[in-house]
Structure 1
Amino acid sequence: MPERMEHADAQRPVVLVVDDAPSSLGMLCDTLEGEGYTVLVARDGDAALLRLELVAPDAILLDAVMPGLSGFDTCRLIKANPALAHIPVIFMTGLSETPHVLEGFSCGGVDYVVKPLRAQEVAARLHTHTRNARMTRLAREAVDVAGFGVLLVDARGRVAWRSPQAELWLQTMDGVAEEGRLPDPIYAALDGGTGQGFLSLTGVHLSVRNMGRVGMGETMLLLEQRSANAAAPSRLADAALTPRETEVLSWLAKGKTNRDIGDILGMSHRTVNKHLEHVFEKLGVETRAAAAALATGHVF
């Protein structure tokens, strides 16, 4: 069982429990409240989607069989919304046959527990998935600090995830014909394999770096804004940092110590030191202050 979650100085994590018989989940809800969660309840898929218009929880516990919209269809709608797609969905259901379990994962669930529920087990699974999702989100959003935007594009060319900075840039571009679709010129970066190219789109001039596959058939693109008459990529863009080196640098630019960065990204401070050695070498700097200045857009 994970340690009890203490939140004296931080907001309590929120979990949305979706079940057509919430009264049967009293012990589970009490356990989660005792573990430091704020528990919200919805009785069906439609009610859950309405709640999600008002709040983005840290995780969702979702029954698969409910009147009206099924849990599987509810999960598909959640994962189709870029603003909600990062939320881990854990199915809890009496359906234990292999086809049902496979459907739960294929529609976007991260875990599957079979009723009758064991509250302590569910809480342990929830703790792990909530922590992992939060760390992943922090790491991905960190690259915005270094002046980059991040796009994850799935095997069918749809946006699987985008960082806040990338979202702002996409909103200013022409060519976004439908939700989840990129402007046509960006697809050239996907077709060209790893490497870097430059795009001039309406209102925004971007460099687009294809970082290759990052798992589950997704491709990572790093975006950086350039001035309209820039003749060459910035010193930071030209350094060809890896995604992990970019994450470490971005947290360095926010004033975090090596130990802090290690805790945020789930690595030892010695590993952070090694990444920073590579960053300093690629940037041609010798100090943390110089690297941080480049990351925040200062010119030497």
Structure 2
Amino acid sequence: MKPLPADPKDTPGRVEPPGPGGPIDRSRAGVVLIVDDVPDNLAVLHDALDEAGYTVLVATDGASALRRAAETDPDIVLLDAVMPGIDGFEVARRLKAGPETAHIPIVFMTGLTDTEHVLAAFDAGGVDYVTKPIRPPEVLARMAAHMQAARQARQARNALDAYGHATIALRVGAGRAQLVWQTPLARQWLPAYFDTVPDEVPAALLDWLRAAEQGREVRPLTLARGARQLVCTLQGRTVDEDWLVVLREVSDAATVEATMLAFRLTLRESEVLYWVAKGKTNRDIGDILGSSPATVKKHLERVYEKLGVETRTAAAALAMQKVRALNPG
């Protein structure tokens, strides 16, 4: 048996160097993170997985396991249940609580075969478990099945992004909501439109979902940023009773550009005119564009002057007439 290197860099292409910038060979059978505080267990699994064509990452405690999973996005985690400090059950719960790592299948490795410990492994988010002493052929067989299912799910989610439809799954509890998973495009759009930090469930989205939880009919939720809008549509519930929401971005940038060129407006003046035509008040427009109502009023006064009109209604009508003339289809 080959000794497990003290420094992961001693095995180029097999064990990823520590730190977020280390290269990972993803051209092999898959990337596996093994988490165990016993060097002999790590060595046995490392050799077997390496021979089977996997890229192997290792962690010897719960904290480093969480860090490495977040940095490297492994295809699967083989997780020791009993470790000092943060044990395997808590590591699994934290991985499943994070939208960026929730999709990673977790196979527990444990010498605890009592029913309560097996149930604890599944309750923490594990998809399977193997008992110690570890038998590598059994581990490889179980891994292959779970990795295939996880890859198919990930490909389906990424396909939605490719067609401009981002997707999120949310779990709504009594006191809070959790993002169970989200596609990469959703992770980009949510903070941009809701002014929240990544992975946080926006309050407006939560209120919208709570209405659905109460059995009320909910219309699509729409948010605007300039001439762009994010439309959130409720698609129902998953088999896990999580809410599935599809996000779609709609842009009227072409309309804004058309009125800007036709009336020689600035971009901000054209945006203000666009939202006036949509029936928004100065306060609404200020909220959308990140300006004060007084600033919107000044832009609108310049728009009136350039269009040769005196009222909001006349400005909106002229704008819509010009856009229809420029885009007769």
Bin for the TM-score computed over the shorter chain: 0.5 to 0.7
Q: String of CA shifts for 1:216-236, please: whole Å, max 9, x gaps.
A: 111211111123699xxxxxx
- Equivalent residue, structure 2, for 1:255: none
For 1:135, which of 125, 131, 152 is the aligned residue? 152
Compute the displacement of 1:51 (Å): 2.2
1:212 maps to a residue whose letter is G
Determine if the alignment matches structure 1 residue 41 to structure 2 residue 58.
yes
Distance in 1, Cα, partners of 2:71 & 2:197: 26
Determine if the alignment matches structure 1 residue 200 to structure 2 residue 217.
no
Query: Which range is displaced more, 195-204 or 219-228?
Result: 195-204
Determine if the alignment matches structure 1 residue 217 to structure 2 residue 255.
no
1:112 aligned counterpart, secondary structure? strand
What is the aligned-residue identity percentage? Answer: 39
Q: String of CA shifts for 1:124-158, please: whole Å, max 9, x gaps.
A: 00111111111100111111111111010114232
Query: Which range is displaced more, 168-177 or 110-119?
Result: 168-177
1:137 maps to a residue whose letter is R
Q: String of CA shifts for 1:182-225, please: whole Å, max 9, x gaps.
A: 34146415633677514124555222221111111112111111
Given that residues 159 and 182 in structure 1 are in contact (C-alpha distance below 8 angstroms), is that contact kept between their aligned partners in structure 2? no
For 1:151, which of 155, 168, 171 is the aligned residue? 168
- Equivalent residue, structure 2, for 1:62: 79
TM-score (normalizing by structure 1):
0.67
Larger radius of gyration: 2
Aligned residue-pair number: 224
Give the alignment's Cα RMSD to 1 decimal: 2.7
Distance in 2, Cα, partners of 1:75 & 1:53: 13
Query: Which range is displaced more, 22-31 or 122-131?
Result: 22-31
Distance in 1, Cα, partners of 2:82 & 2:126: 14
Question: Which blocks of at least 5 consecutive residues in structure 1 are unaligned?
Answer: 1-7, 231-299
Distance in 2, Cα, partners of 1:115 & 1:53: 27
1:110 maps to a residue whose letter is V
Question: Which blocks of at least 5 consecutive residues in structure 2 are unaligned?
Answer: 1-24, 255-328
Compute the displacement of 1:63 (Å): 0.4
Distance in 1, Cα, partners of 2:210 & 2:249: 18
**Aligned positions of 1:44-193 closer than 5 A:** 44-156=61-173, 157-174=177-194, 176=196, 179-185=199-205, 187-189=207-209, 191-192=211-212
Compute the displacement of 1:177 (Å): 7.1
1:72 maps to a residue whose letter is F
- Which has the larger helix fraction? 2
Distance in 2, Cα, partners of 1:201 & 1:189: 19
Given that residues 153 and 218 in structure 1 are in contact (C-alpha distance below 8 angstroms), is that contact kept between their aligned partners in structure 2? yes
Distance in 2, Cα, partners of 1:123 & 1:189: 41
Q: String of CA shifts for 1:13-61, please: whole Å, max 9, x gaps.
A: 1101111113134333222112211111111112212323431111100
TM-score (normalizing by structure 2):
0.62
Given that residues 150 and 223 in structure 1 are in contact (C-alpha distance below 8 angstroms), is that contact kept between their aligned partners in structure 2? yes
